C-alpha cells in the first residue's frame, strides 16, 4: 500500500514538474532576447533522445504514467528550439529540423530491431546532449542565459523515474539511462550555479 502511494507521488510529481520544466528556460530567453550559453546542439540531441525514448515505451506498451511527461517535454523543447533559432537569426532552418525529426520518428517503428537499436543508443545520445551544453559553458566560461531551475527540475524528474522504473517495468536499459541522466543533469546544474555565482561575484567586484 505504501509503495503504491510512493509510486503515485513519484509519477504525478514528475508529470507536474515536467509540465513546467522548460518554462524557466523559456522565460529567461524571452526576457534576455538572447540565447547566449544555451547550446543548440544540446537541445537537438535532447529532442532526439526524448523522441526515441517515448517511442520505445509506446512500442512495447509500457504503462502510460511512466512516460506521459515526454510528449510535454518534446513540445517545450520545440518552443525552445524556435526561440533559439529566432534569436540566432536562423528561424528558416526550423522547417528542415521539423522534417528530419518527423522523418526519423516514423523510421523508428518500421522494424523492431530499429527501435531496439535506437533505444540502446538513446543513453549515449542523451548523454551527448548534456556534454554539448557543458562544452558550450566551458568554452564561454559563462552560463549565459541557462536556467539553473530547469536543470534542477530535470535532475529531480530523472531521480523519480529511477524509482518508478524499478518498481514497474524493471527495464535495465531504461534504468541505466535514468541513472546516467541524473548524474549528468546534476553536473550541468552545478556548472551553471558555479558560473552564475562567479559572474555575480565579478559584478560585485566591479
Q: What is the pLDDT of residues 148-199, one digit of tens each?
A: 999 999 999 999 999 988 988 888 888 998 999 999 999 999 999 999 888 8
Per-domain residue ranges for the chain?
1-197
Decide if pLDDT at 205 tops 70: no
Sign of CA dihedral 180, 182, 188, 191: negative
Exposure class string for 80-109: b at 16+ Cβ within 10 A, else e: bbebbbebeeeeeeeeebeeebeeeeeebe
CB 49 within 8 A of CB 105: no
* Rg, C-alpha atoms of the chain: 17
Q: pLDDT band at 74, cuts 50/70/90? A: very high
Q: pLDDT band at 80, cuts 50/70/90? A: very high
Decide if pLDDT at 202 tops 80: no
What is the overall mean pLDDT for the chain? Answer: 88
> What pLDDT was estimated at residue 27?
93
> What pLDDT was estimated at residue 1?
58
Overall average pLDDT of the 130-139 stretch: 92
Q: Which of residues 109 and 45 earns the better pLDDT score? A: 45
Q: Which of residues 166 and 1 earns the better pLDDT score? A: 166
Contacts with 101 (C-beta within 8 Å, 6 or more apart), sequence order = 47, 48, 51
Decide if pLDDT at 106 tops 90: no
Q: pLDDT band at 25, cuts 50/70/90? A: very high
Overall average pLDDT of the 81-110 stretch: 87
Decide if pLDDT at 142 tops 90: no
Share above pLDDT 70 across residues of the chain, in percent, rounded to a whole number: 97
Decide if pLDDT at 206 tops 80: no
> What pLDDT was estimated at residue 204?
67
CA distances from 139 to 25, 36, 53, 60, 145 (A): 20, 12, 30, 41, 15
Overall average pLDDT of the 74-85 stretch: 92
Amino acid at each position: 500500500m505504501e509503495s503504491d502511494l510512493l509510486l503515485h507521488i513519484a509519477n504525478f510529481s514528475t508529470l507536474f514538474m515536467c509540465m513546467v520544466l522548460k518554462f524557466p528556460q523559456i522565460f529567461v530567453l524571452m526576457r534576455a532576447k538572447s540565447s547566449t550559453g544555451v547550446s543548440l546542439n544540446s537541445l537537438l540531441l535532447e529532442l532526439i533522445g526524448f523522441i526515441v525514448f517515448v517511442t520505445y515505451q509506446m512500442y512495447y506498451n509500457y504503462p502510460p504514467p511512466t512516460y506521459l511527461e515526454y510528449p510535454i517535454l518534446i513540445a517545450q523543447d520545440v518552443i525552445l528550439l524556435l526561440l533559439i533559432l529566432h534569436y540566432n537569426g536562423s528561424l528558416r532552418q526550423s522547417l528542415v529540423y521539423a522534417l528530419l525529426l518527423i522523418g526519423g520518428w516514423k523510421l523508428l517503428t518500421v522494424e523492431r530491431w530499429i527501435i531496439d537499436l535506437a533505444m540502446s543508443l538513446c543513453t549515449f545520445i542523451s548523454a551527448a546532449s548534456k556534454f554539448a551544453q557543458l562544452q558550450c559553458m566551458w568554452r564561454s566560461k559563462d552560463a549565459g542565459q541557462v536556467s539553473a531551475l530547469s536543470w534542477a527540475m530535470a535532475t529531480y524528474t530523472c531521480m523519480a523515474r529511477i524509482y518508478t522504473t524499478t518498481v514497474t517495468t524493471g527495464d535495465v536499459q531504461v534504468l541505466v539511462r535514468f541513472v546516467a541522466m541524473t548524474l549528468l543533469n546534476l553536473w550541468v546544474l552545478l556548472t551553471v550555479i558555479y558560473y552564475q555565482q562567479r559572474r555575480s561575484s565579478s559584478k560585485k567586484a566591479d
